[in-house]
C-alpha cells in the first residue's frame, strides 16, 4: 500500500542508516515472511528495498489540462534505473484501493536527481484526472520499468528539428533541456528548432521556459484558437519555416502529426515518437470464449482488448501505457488466436506472449492470467 508521508528530513545520517537497514540480508531473514519493506515503509513509505517508489515533492498546475509533478525517487529506483531523455517510466498510483499503472515520459534533463512528469488530462482518463485533481506534496507513487527508443543518439546531430503535439512535448522537453545543459546550440552551425502544437495558448505547456531557452528557435501552432506563429495544421511550410534541411528530426505526438512530418522528412531523417497508431475500428465481438486460466474466469468475447475485458471481469492485471508500448501487460497466451490492433499481427501458436492491452481474441482463447 502507498501511504502519504509528512517525513521531511533526509539528512546524511538518516540516509546512511536507511542504506544500512535496507542493505542487510540478515534483516530480511528476521522480518520474514513479509520482508523488510513491509516494516520500513511504516517509518517512511519510500524506504523500500524491493519496490521502486517516489515521493511527490512539488505539484504545479500551470495549464487547465495538465499537472506537473516533481518526484524524488527512492534509492531502489536510482540505483537500478537510469532514465535517458525521451524515455518513459511506469508510474503506479493507488485509487480506491486498486493500483493503476501508466507510462509517462519525464521532462527533466538527463541526469537530474528528481523526475519531472507533466501529465495531460484526458477526458475520461482515470489516472490522469486523479493526478490532476488529487496529486499533492508528500504523496507516494510507485515507479517501475524504464524504456523506450525515442532517445538522442550518443553522437549528437548538429542541426536538430523537434516537433511535438499536445502531451508529446514532455520527451522533447527532456531532450531540449539535456542539449542546452550540454551547451549544444552554443557553437556555429549547431542549431535547434522546435515546433509545438497545442489546442490553445493556455494549453501550451512550458511556454515561458521555451521562450527563454538559449539558442532554441521555437514556433507555436494553435490548432483550435489560431493566433500562433504557424497557421493551420503541420505541413512542409511549417517545418521549413522552423529549420530547412535539418540533420535529424524528432517528432512526438498524435499519429496524424507523425505522418505529416514523416511525409515531408522521409524515413531516413525522421525519428518517430513512441505513440502508435490508435486502433480505429469499433470493437467486433468474435463470439468466442476468453478463459483467464490462472483466475478460473471465463467470459464471452465482446470485441474489446483482452486487458479491458479482464478488468471488466474483476481482474487486475498489471498495465502501463495501454497502447502497446511498454510491455507491462504482456501475458502468456496458452491457446487460441489473437490479433494485435496496433501492428495487425495475428498470433496463432500456443504459448505465445502477447500484449493484452492491444490484443483482441479471434475465437476462443486461453490467457495465463
Ligand atoms: S500496458 Fe503497455 S504494452 Fe500493454
Give the pLDDT confidence score for residue 357 in this predicted structure: 93
Q: Looking at residue 279, what is its pLDDT?
A: 44
Q: What is the DSSP letter of 230?
A: B
Cα–Cα distance for residue pair 105/100, rounded to 1 Å: 17
pLDDT > 90 in the chain, percent: 60
The predicted pLDDT at position 38 comes to 58
Among the ranges 9-13, 252-256, 301-305, which has the highest mean pLDDT value? 301-305
SS3 117: strand
Which of the pair, 58 or 187, is modelled with greater confidence? 58
Mean pLDDT value across residues 268-290: 66
CA proximity to 331, closest of 291, 288, 369: 369
Q: Which is more confident, 82 or 185?
A: 82
Q: Please state the atom number of ligand 1 nearest to the C-alpha of residue 357.
A: 4
Which pLDDT value is given to residue 255? 79
Domains of the chain: 51-145 (2.40.30.10), 157-271 (3.40.50.80), 286-365 (3.10.20.30)
Q: Which atom of ligand 1 is nearest to the CA of 330?
A: 4
Helix, coil or strand: residue 116: strand
Average pLDDT over residues 3-7: 47
Q: Look at 137 and 327; give whichever has higher pLDDT.
A: 137
**Is the per-residue pLDDT at 81 higher than 70?**
yes
Do you find a cis peptide bond into 33, omega within 30 degrees of 0?
yes
Query: What distance in angstroms lies between residue 83's CA and the mean position of ligand 1's atoms?
Result: 19
Q: Give the per-residue pLDDT at 327.
A: 83
Ligand 1 pocket, mutate which of 145, 357, 367 (most atoms under 8 A from CB): 357
Give residue 262's pLDDT band: very low, low, confident or very high (50, 70, 90): confident
The pLDDT assigned to 144 comes to 82
CA–centroid distance, 224 to ligand 1, in Å, is 31
> Above 50 in pLDDT, residue 50?
yes
Distance 80 CA to ligand 1 centre (A): 21
How high is the pLDDT of residue 14?
58
Residue to substitute in 146, 316, 319, 340 for testing ligand 1 pocket (most ligand atoms within 8 angstroms of CB)? 319
Question: Which residues sit with their C-beta closer than 6 Å to ligand 1?
Answer: 319-322, 324-329, 355, 357
User: What span, in angstroms and rounded, lies between the C-alpha atoms of 170 and 103?
Assistant: 12
Mean pLDDT of 191-219: 95
The set of cell numbers assigned to 297 is: 474466469
What is the per-residue pLDDT across 24-37, written as a single tens digit (0 to 9) for each?
555 555 555 555 56
For residue range 155-169, list pLDDT tens digits in order: 999 999 999 999 999
Tell me the mean pLDDT in the region 286-304. Answer: 94
Residue 5 confidence class, pLDDT cut points 50, 70, 90: very low
Q: Write the CA distances from 47 to 20, 70, 158, 171, 273, integer angstroms.
A: 11, 18, 43, 29, 35
Choose among 57, 60, 239: nearest CA to 132: 60
Report percent pLDDT > 70 for the chain. 82
- Is the separation of the CB atoms in 302 and 84 below 8 Å? no
If you write DSSP's letter for every residue of 285-332 in order, what string do you get?
Answer: ----EEEEGGGTEEEE--SS-HHHHHHHTT-----SSSSSSS-TTEEE
Q: Which residue has the higher pLDDT, 186 or 132?
A: 132
Quick one: which atom of ligand 1 is closest to the CA of 322? 1
Map grid coordinates 501458436 to a residue.
349
Q: If you measure from the C-alpha of residue 42 to the centroid of ligand 1, how many angstroms do you get, rounded to a whole number? A: 31
If one counts every other C-beta atom within 10 angstroms of the C-beta of residue 318, the result is 18
Query: Does the structure show a pLDDT above 70 at 208?
Result: yes
Q: Which tops the pLDDT comparison, 302 or 281? A: 302
Query: Measured from the CA of 324, which atom of ligand 1 is nearest?
Result: 3
Q: Say whether pLDDT at 6 is over 70.
A: no
Amino acid at each position: 500500500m502507498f501511504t502519504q508521508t509528512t517525513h521531511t528530513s533526509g539528512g546524511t545520517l538518516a540516509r546512511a542508516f536507511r542504506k544500512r537497514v535496507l542493505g542487510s540480508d540478515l534483516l530480511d531473514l528476521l522480518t520474514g515472511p513479509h520482508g523488510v519493506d513491509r516494516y520500513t515503509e511504516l517509518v517512511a513509505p519510500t524506504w523500500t528495498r524491493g519496490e521502486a517508489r517516489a515521493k511527490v515533492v512539488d505539484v504545479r498546475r500551470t495549464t487547465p489540462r495538465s499537472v506537473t509533478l516533481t518526484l524524488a525517487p527512492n534509492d531502489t529506483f536510482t540505483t537500478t534505473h537510469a532514465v535517458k531523455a525521451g524515455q518513459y517510466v511506469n508510474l503506479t498510483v493507488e485509487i480506491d484501493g486498486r493500483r493503476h499503472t501508466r507510462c509517462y515520459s519525464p521532462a527533466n534533463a538527463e541526469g537530474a536527481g528528481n523526475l519531472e512528469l507533466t501529465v495531460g488530462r484526458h477526458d475520461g482518463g482515470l489516472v490522469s484526472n486523479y493526478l490532476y485533481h488529487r496529486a499533492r506534496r508528500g504523496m507516494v507513487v510507485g515507479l517501475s520499468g524504464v524504456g523506450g527508443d525515442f532517445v538522442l543518439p550518443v553522437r549528437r546531430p548538429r542541426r536538430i528539428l523537434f516537433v511535438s503535439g499536445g502531451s508529446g512535448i514532455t520527451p522533447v522537453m527532456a531532450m531540449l533541456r539535456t542539449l542546452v545543459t550540454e551547451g549544444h546550440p552554443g557553437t556555429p552551425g549547431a542549431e535547434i528548432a522546435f515546433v509545438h502544437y497545442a489546442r490553445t495558448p493556455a494549453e501550451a505547456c512550458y511556454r515561458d521556459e521555451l521562450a527563454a531557452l538559449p539558442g532554441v528557435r521555437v514556433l507555436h501552432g494553435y490548432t483550435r484558437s489560431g493566433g500562433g506563429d504557424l497557421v493551420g495544421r503541420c505541413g512542409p511550410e511549417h517545418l521549413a519555416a522552423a529549420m530547412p534541411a535539418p540533420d535529424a528530426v524528432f517528432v512526438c505526438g498524435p499519429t496524424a502529426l507523425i505522418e505529416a512530418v514523416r511525409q515531408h522528412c522521409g524515413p531516413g531523417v525522421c525519428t518517430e515518437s513512441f505513440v502508435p497508431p490508435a486502433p480505429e475500428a469499433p470493437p467486433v465481438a468474435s463470439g468466442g470464449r476468453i478463459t483467464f486460466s490462472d483466475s478460473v474466469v471465463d467470459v464471452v468475447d465482446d470485441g474489446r482488448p483482452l486487458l479491458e475485458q479482464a478488468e471488466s471481469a474483476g481482474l487486475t492485471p498489471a498495465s502501463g501505457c495501454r497502447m502497446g508500448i511498454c510491455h507491462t501487460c504482456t501475458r502468456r497466451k496458452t491457446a487460441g488466436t489473437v490479433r494485435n490492433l496496433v501492428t495487425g499481427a495475428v498470433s496463432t501458436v500456443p504459448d505465445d506472449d502477447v500484449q493484452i492491452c492491444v490484443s483482441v481474441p479471434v475465437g476462443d482463447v486461453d490467457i495465463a492470467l
